[in-house]
Chain A
Amino acid sequence: MATNKLQVAIYWGAACGGCDVAVLDTNEFILDLAAAADIRFWPIAVDGKYSDVEAMADGELDLALFNGAVRNSENEHVAKLLRKKSKVLVALGSCAHMGGIPGLANLATKEEILLTAYLANPSVEPGNQTIPQARTAIDGMTLEIPYFFKRVFRLADVVDVDYFLPGCPPAPVQIRNVLLAVVKGELPPRGSVVGASDRALCDDCPRTKSEKKLKAFHRPYEIVQDPTRCLLEQGILCMGPATRSGCGVRCPNSNQGCRGCYGPLPGVTDQGAKFLSALASIIDSKDPKEIDEILAGLPDFIGLAYRFGLPASTLQRSYR
């Protein structure tokens, strides 16, 4: 296909659709994109088949944005396909970057997940005994559907990724900036995180910070917040110190602690462990009993500290 237009594909793996919406949330810019680019493949917005992509020459696409984690064989297949067909592959959003919310499923086994979803869930029709199988024989024919992996992977676990654009979802302005950089050919070295700061959220957070000592953790509704003071100092869990900035301080500016979706700082491999280490360091007690009481205020630490990054962490998944 001879054209000067940028050849683009956008795809979702194990995702909620929020990243696709974030692309659309670039507002009028999306029209400029449509004018400057041929959107060759985008299941949520453009009609197309996998076979259309398979028919492309290797490297025919200039850019593929892959959002979502890799949960099943279909996600993996398309990831590999897009890798082959694209000059630049970007992991868009927390799921592609680090496993994201779907990655929390790594705390359960495949069997437990299927049991809950198809047999034990209260919303399942009583008596149902059907669990989807990768192959099913019907009327002398075999039906195949994608199979469910044992665990969730991030995109970089299955293919080489050129750039990581973090966020759940990425801030539209950052998506726009990265797309402009691709158009202008102003991309940093391959393997970089783009559309985010190299400093923690606190750098951009307008709240005042002082020395930190914690005697208790609170959920936001439990206390009357001081809107000008660091949330963590008020006992509200905020992942800001362990998280890249770039989102525009969306959560703390809405009086919620940072959830950590922009992932760890450069050089840090395990965001949750880093946050744990920091939090343990500022708990203000030397009395084991009191420490236990303070820690009781953290009912689901892994769900907090690894909310977006479990598959990318040292833990990766629970082994049972």
Chain B
Amino acid sequence: MEKPRIGVFVCNCGTNISHIVDTEAVRAHAQAQPDVVVATSYRYMCSTPGQETIVKAIQEHQLNRVVVAACSPRMHEKTFRGACRHGGINPFLFEMANIREQCSWVHQDRLAATEKAKSLTTAAIHRVRHHRPLNSLSAEMCPTTLVLGGGIAGLTAALELADSSNDVVLVERTDALGGNLARVDLTAPHLDSARDLLTEKLTRIASNPRVTVLLRSELVALSGFVGNFTATIRGPGGNGAGPERQVRVGNVVVATGYQEFDAGRITHYGHGKLPNVVTSFEFEQMLRAGRIETRDGRLPQYAAIIHCVGSRNREFHPYCSRVCCMTALKYAHELKSANPACYVSDIYIDMHAFGKGCEEFYKATSEVKTLFLMFEKNEHPVIRRAGPGEDCDMLIEVNERLSGERIEIPADLVILMVGVEARSDAAEVARLVNISQDREGWFMESHPKLDPVATTTDGIYIAGTCAAPKDIPDSVAQARAAAARILARISKGRIEIDGVFAEVDEDRCSGCRICNELCPYSAIEFDEGKRRSHVIPAACKACGACVAACPSGAITGHHFTAEQIHAQIDGVLA
């Protein structure tokens, strides 16, 4: 190994670091360490002049190692790796010491913070001596995409990809496309027909030769990694043991949607027992059939809509299902337009009308003489059968919050606004495509704000209501975002694989298989013939789980070798 020539660059971060840490003392301390050829401090290392300082120093002093003592590597590791590359050295011959988040931002004692900053910088100097140049790899990107779920999100993603001349395999479990949207009559707040929205998509899907639609089919296995997945899909027939086919795909869009909350779980609403208590989806059926009527065929004189059935409730789901408030207002509209004499009561907790045009829709609904009654979260209205002398079928008692009174409302028809929840088979799907679920069962994003359609498994994207409750525009936007992400990757032709990954030394692997089940990214394969395990670099995220677990020390985490970590610890203790 060539003799290390280390340059150390200490950042003041304006005054973010220097108001607590004596950066000049850190610089002088670094300068005194063996192999350190140059040590500089600067106001903003990440600025263009800051980066130029690094580039110039690399060239002037023939540096072969660089340490920047500044902020978190999550913030600027990429920036400084770039500066190293510009200076002409491999970007991995660089190490960052975090003297902002770990020093100046969390300490008030100037002396102690400065000592800690010196220690962390020394640790980085010790570590960087053992850094090795790493190069990224590349692999082929198969342009075919697998879309799971034929609802509005899946259809949209499939069309977006196919319209750009890419093959799509669209797998749908049921015998028809359309998903939950196909069960809906009009859509809030513009009262467009759901059927119209869908028909346009379905026609385009049917006429697009790029899309292969597999109905009554399901994914049963997915192996490989981004760009190079093999999906095993089981077709219809044979009582769940239909013929299987294998398809090579580069990416997967998971758009498996939601299921409605089972209203029967809330016994006091009497769904399934009181004949005229229906769920929102049962009411949609009436709307689609064009007949709003009670079970015995009467026109309801009094209709009541109850919100948050299963949602925003500590017993069932704590979250807001997002679509029910506007759907409830839509029902008020539809009830009134079918029978202007109908008394409509809307029994709600809060009215969530945050979408585009939604607040206006709320206002318009209150103008068509809907009676709004507010009840307390975690309380519930009580429904009972009306007595023989009453002119209605049922009576609903509500502790009305705004008036503070207990109010009794007549009803011939009660519509329960059932919430949406993760599908009961979501865990199985998550396991198949190797993504995570949150505590409510929704699929998890790579980052909830900044990376909402990607997942922690490269090449697997989520769109629509399988990730969280959302309305049609949001589902469509996500589907298109997922498609755009995939198109961007397909257009590159190959995928770049980061140089940091775990590698099994086959000369040391004994084939004990302890690592096999551990990888959260399914990046480890076992070769039955050789009896050795092997890490697929493209699928590896360098989390280190297998490196720590390998009892033979046969797995190396590049850039996180035992030698490098020990050197870092020695540096802290030095």
> What is the interface of chain A, defined by CB distance below 8 A to chain B?
198-203, 209-213, 230, 232, 240-242, 245, 264-268, 274-275, 277-278, 280-282
Docked Cα-Cα span, A295 to B190, in Å, equals 59
Docked Cα-Cα span, A267 to B565, in Å, equals 14
Flag B530-574 by CB within 8 Å of A: 1 or 0 each.
010000000000000100111111100000001000000000000
Q: B461 to nearest A CB, angstroms?
A: 26
In the complex, whether B514 has a CB less than 8 A from a CB of chain A is yes
* In the complex with contacts A242-B551, A277-B551, A278-B549, A199-B510 CB distance below 8 A: yes
Docked Cα-Cα span, A151 to B22, in Å, equals 44
* Contacting residues, chain A, for B545 (C-beta < 8 A): 281
By beta carbon, the residue of chain B nearest A244 is B552
Q: Is the interface of B mostly helix, strand, loop or mixed?
A: loop
Q: Can you show 9 pairs from A to B with CB atoms below 8 A apart?
A: A198-B507, A200-B551, A212-B513, A230-B513, A232-B512, A241-B551, A268-B553, A277-B549, A281-B514
Contact A241 B517 (CB under 8 A): no
Flag B502-524 by CB within 8 Å of A: 1 or 0 each.
00000111111111111000000
Docked Cα-Cα span, A202 to B553, in Å, equals 14
* Contacting residues, chain B, for A268 (C-beta < 8 A): 551-553
Contact B551 A211 (CB under 8 A): no
* Contacting residues, chain B, for A230 (C-beta < 8 A): 512-513
Task: Find the residue from B515, B526, B552, B554 having the highest chain A CB count within 10 A.
Answer: B552
Contact B510 A241 (CB under 8 A): yes
* Contacting residues, chain A, for B507 (C-beta < 8 A): 198-199
Docked Cα-Cα span, A282 to B513, in Å, equals 10
* Contacting residues, chain B, for A209 (C-beta < 8 A): 511-513
* Contacting residues, chain B, for A275 (C-beta < 8 A): 551
Docked Cα-Cα span, A266 to B553, in Å, equals 7
Select one of B509, B511, B551, B562 contacting A278, CB under 8 A. Answer: B551
Select one of A211, A213, A245 contacting B510, CB under 8 A. Answer: A245
* Contacting residues, chain B, for A198 (C-beta < 8 A): 507-508
Contact B518 A203 (CB under 8 A): no
Contact B513 A242 (CB under 8 A): no
Docked Cα-Cα span, A265 to B517, in Å, equals 22
Q: A224 to nearest B CB, angstroms?
A: 23
Select one of B508, B517, B531, B549 contacting A211, CB under 8 A. Answer: B517
By beta carbon, the residue of chain B nearest A245 is B510
Contact A210 B513 (CB under 8 A): yes
Contact A240 B553 (CB under 8 A): no
Docked Cα-Cα span, A151 to B507, in Å, equals 37
Additional A-B contact list (18), CB under 8 Å, known A264-B553, A277-B548: A199-B507, A199-B508, A200-B552, A203-B511, A209-B511, A211-B526, A213-B517, A241-B510, A241-B512, A245-B510, A265-B551, A266-B553, A267-B562, A277-B549, A278-B549, A280-B549, A281-B514, A281-B518
* Closest CB pairs A-B (n = 9): A200-B510, A242-B551, A281-B549, A241-B512, A203-B510, A202-B512, A278-B551, A202-B510, A268-B553
* In the complex with contacts A242-B552, A275-B551, A277-B551, A200-B513 CB distance below 8 A: no
Contact B552 A211 (CB under 8 A): no
Docked Cα-Cα span, A77 to B507, in Å, equals 40
Q: A309 to nearest B CB, angstroms?
A: 13
* Contacting residues, chain A, for B514 (C-beta < 8 A): 212, 232, 241, 278, 281-282
Contact B510 A278 (CB under 8 A): no
By beta carbon, the residue of chain A nearest B505 is A267
Docked Cα-Cα span, A268 to B553, in Å, equals 6
Docked Cα-Cα span, A211 to B548, in Å, equals 17
Q: A288 to nearest B CB, angstroms?
A: 16
Docked Cα-Cα span, A228 to B178, in Å, equals 52
* Contacting residues, chain B, for A277 (C-beta < 8 A): 548-549, 551
By beta carbon, the residue of chain B nearest A198 is B508
